[in-house]
């Protein structure tokens, strides 16, 4: 069992003050028992037995108050101690030798009465502080003869005086020590409270700085708005600016589209006296609008006037992230829609050549004529090339979707020549003049692999839809620098595209005519790739007059 449990019991004492006084009350009971035992031994050794029953009563009273205190009957325990002490000291003082020193204990009784009943029972506290004075005077001036007066040897008088002096001083010292301890505890509590308040203030300021929050107070009746230094800094102002702010000064800072909504929200929450929260844009000192979250509560000041106290937090990055997320969701929805179309069209476009291959294999098995077998084999090659081209387009589309941009400085003329050389192997039998009219020194910073896909698809389309019966079939790749952009043009004199198809030729799987050889993915991949490269594409074409595709790209990505 712990010392604490022995003195006050195991029951929880919610009040810290009650706990301290319960501990003191038990300690007083312990002192009473110790003093009673001491005097029993002292008087017995000197042959004085008249006081021993009173010492026994002192022990019984001390134990009774100790038990009552452990049971949390604090008033009863205190009354038991004080009444018993005052009564017994009165008896001892009545029969004590004038120089015996028993009167010292009246001082102890007064101090104990003041402490144990303390301020919260101040009537009883004052009563038991005055009672020892009255009893002391009574014992001094009246001879009550409550018990027979003992006979003392001369040396006993001195011994009793010394004993009473020492015990009286120690008892009063214990009382004073408790008062000093209580005062020190109060001081420590005040210091701790002060430190806690200081720490709370520091935490509050750290929280404000951590959340980049600015504090304001709007006294509506006086039309004055106090804003903290952090509030000003959020908008890019210095500490000495935006002083003496008024509503007519603040309103122009609010984004025009947000003003009516903000005014309505404030009025609604003011009428309901509910916490107010709003998100709006404010004009910063740099002239840029930024998003902020405004949170506040309405309260009454000392004059009963309404005041709005709140904080302003910069949420510009969050709003940008939300806008970006919304854009990505929109793009995801678009991707899902295109994926559905892609799966449907891709399965159709891949089944057609496979079915044709199976048919050609079946026919080749039924003939023994070499010329027919040769024809079937050539037709199979054509179907395989078609599938190979389609798979390449699908691969280009997948890479453009998945891979990160890798901006690299490139010579545009060298890249165009590389694309032309690659395509030359697939157009051996097609007599088309191709020219690259690009300044060899023209350099841009972009993703070279994606730009190759763009030029490759445009030039490949020009090959596919050319008119080889004309005198000079050509494809011309040119580029010019214009401000901070470069314009790349792929021009041909092929079959051309009817104007009614111009708005849709960049859609997935769109074919401008039934006789089209392609899958309808080429120009769609060009458009999607240019979106990644922060560029765009336009077309000028008409049937029979050829086509001209113009790609616009930034000089530096």
Q: What is the 3-state secondary structure (H, E, C) of 203-266?
A: HHHHHHHHCCEEEEEEECCCCEEEECHHHHHHCCCCCCCCCCECHHHHHHHECHHHHHHHHHHH
Q: What is the pLDDT of residue 284?
A: 92
Tell me which of 85-94, 501-510, 534-543 is least confident.
Answer: 501-510
What is the mean pLDDT of the segment spanning 116-128?
A: 85
Candidate CATH numbers 1.10.287, 2.40.10, 3.10.310, 3.40.50; the one for domain 322-402 = 1.10.287
Q: What is the pLDDT of residue 341?
A: 58
pTM of the shown model: 0.40
Share of the chain above pLDDT 70, in %: 84
- Residue 311 near residue 295 (C-beta atoms within 8 A): yes
What is the mean pLDDT of the segment spanning 122-140?
A: 89
Q: What is the pLDDT of residue 383?
A: 65
Q: What is the pLDDT of residue 170?
A: 82
Calpha distance 447→157 (Å, rounded):
113
399 pLDDT more than 70: no
458 pLDDT more than 60: yes
The top-level CATH class assigned to 211-314 is: alpha beta
Domain boundaries in the chain? Answer: 3-190, 211-314, 322-402, 404-557
What is the mean pLDDT of the segment spanning 122-133?
A: 90
What is the mean pLDDT of the segment spanning 494-505?
A: 80
pLDDT band with cut points at 50, 70 and 90 for residue 257? very high
> Between these two residues, 39 and 279, which has the higher pLDDT value?
279
Calpha distance 367→379 (Å, rounded):
15
- Residue 308 near residue 218 (C-beta atoms within 8 A): yes
Kindly state the DSSP code that residue 556 receives in the 8-state scheme: B
What is the DSSP annotation of 292-332?
Answer: EEEEEEEEE-TTS-EEEEEEEEE-HHHHHHHHHHHHHHHHH
- Residue 234 near residue 292 (C-beta atoms within 8 A): yes
What is the pLDDT of the chain when averaged over all its residues?
A: 81
DSSP SS3 for 281 = strand
517 pLDDT more than 60: no
What is the mean pLDDT of the segment spanning 150-156?
A: 68
- What region does 101 belong to: left with phi over 0, alpha with psi -120 to 50, or beta? left
What are the tokens at 331? Answer: 């793009």
**Taking each helix axis from N to C terminus, what angle separates 122-141 and 74-95, rounded to the nearest 10 degrees?**
10
pLDDT band with cut points at 50, 70 and 90 for residue 391? low
**pLDDT tens, 258-272?**
999 998 998 888 888
> Between these two residues, 175 and 45, which has the higher pLDDT value?
45
Nearest one of 39, 69, 76, 34 to 54, comparing CA atoms:
39
Matching fold, domains 322-402 and 404-557: no
Calpha distance 348→342 (Å, rounded):
10
Calpha distance 541→493 (Å, rounded):
10
Q: At 422, phi and psi to the nearest 5?
A: -65, -40
Q: Does 404-557 carry CATH code 2.60.40.1510?
A: no
283 pLDDT more than 70: yes
What is the mean pLDDT of the segment spanning 195-222?
A: 75
pLDDT band with cut points at 50, 70 and 90 for residue 184? confident
Cα separation of the two ends of the chain: 78
Q: What is the pLDDT of residue 428?
A: 45
**pLDDT tens, 210-245?**
566 788 899 888 888 898 888 888 899 998 888 888
Q: What is the pLDDT of residue 145?
A: 78
């Amino acid at each position: 069992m712990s010392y604490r449990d022995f003195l006050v019991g195991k029951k929880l004492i919610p009040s810290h003050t009650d706990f301290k006084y319960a501990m003191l009350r038990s300690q007083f009971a312990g002192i009473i028992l110790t003093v009673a035992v001491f005097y029993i031994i002292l008087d017995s050794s000197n042959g004085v037995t008249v006081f021993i029953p009173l010492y026994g009563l002192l022990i019984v009273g001390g134990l009774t108050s100790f038990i009552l205190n452990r049971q949390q009957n604090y008033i009863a325990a205190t009354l038991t101690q004080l009444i018993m002490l005052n009564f017994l000291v009165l008896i001892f003082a009545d029969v004590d030798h004038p120089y015996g020193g028993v009167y010292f204990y009246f001082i102890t009784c007064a101090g104990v009465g003041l402490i144990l009943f303390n301020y919260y029972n101040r009537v009883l506290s004052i009563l038991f502080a005055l009672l020892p004075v009255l009893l002391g005077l009574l014992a001094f001036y009246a001879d009550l003869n409550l018990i027979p007066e003992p006979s003392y040897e001369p040396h006993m008088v001195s011994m009793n005086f010394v004993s009473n002096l020492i015990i009286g001083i120690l008892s009063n010292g214990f009382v004073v020590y408790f008062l000093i301890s209580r005062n020190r505890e109060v001081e420590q509590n005040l210091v701790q409270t002060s430190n806690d308040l200081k720490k709370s203030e520091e935490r509050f300021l750290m929280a404000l700085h951590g959340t980049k929050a600015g504090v304001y107070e709007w006294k509506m009746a006086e039309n004055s708005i106090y804003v903290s230094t952090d509030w000003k800094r959020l908008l890019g102002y210095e500490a000495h600016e935006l002083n003496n702010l008024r509503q007519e000064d603040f309103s122009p800072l609010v984004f025009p589209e947000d003003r009516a909504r903000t005014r309505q929200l404030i009025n609604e929450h003011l009428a309901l006296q509910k916490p107010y929260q709003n998100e709006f844009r404010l004009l910063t000192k740099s002239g840029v609008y930024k998003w902020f979250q405004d949170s506040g509560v309405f309260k009454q000041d000392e004059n009963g006037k309404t005041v709005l106290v709140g904080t302003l937090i910069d949420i510009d990055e969050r709003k940008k992230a939300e806008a970006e997320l919304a854009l990505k969701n929109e793009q995801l929805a678009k991707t899902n829609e295109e994926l559905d179309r892609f799966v449907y069209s891709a399965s159709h476009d891949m089944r057609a050549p496979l079915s044709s291959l199976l048919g050609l294999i079946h026919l080749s098995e039924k003939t023994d004529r070499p010329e027919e077998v040769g024809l079937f084999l050539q037709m199979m090659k054509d179907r395989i090339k078609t599938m190979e081209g389609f798979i390449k387009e699908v691969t280009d589309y997948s890479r453009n979707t998945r891979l990160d941009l890798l901006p690299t400085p490139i010579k545009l003329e060298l890249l165009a020549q590389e694309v032309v050389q690659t395509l030359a192997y697939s157009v051996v039998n097609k007599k088309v003049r191709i020219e690259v009219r690009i300044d060899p020194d023209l350099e841009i910073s972009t993703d070279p692999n994606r730009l190759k896909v763009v030029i490759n698809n445009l030039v490949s389309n020009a090959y596919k839809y050319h008119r080889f019966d004309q005198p000079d079939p050509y494809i011309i790749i040119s580029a010019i620098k214009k401000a901070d952009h470069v314009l790349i043009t792929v021009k041909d004199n092929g079959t051309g595209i009817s104007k009614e198809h111009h708005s849709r030729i960049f859609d997935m799987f769109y074919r401008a005519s039934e006789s089209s050889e392609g899958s309808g993915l080429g120009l769609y991949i060009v458009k999607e790739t240019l979106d990644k490269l922060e560029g765009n594409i336009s077309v000028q074409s008409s049937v029979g007059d050829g086509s001209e595709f113009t790609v616009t790209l930034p000089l530096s990505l």
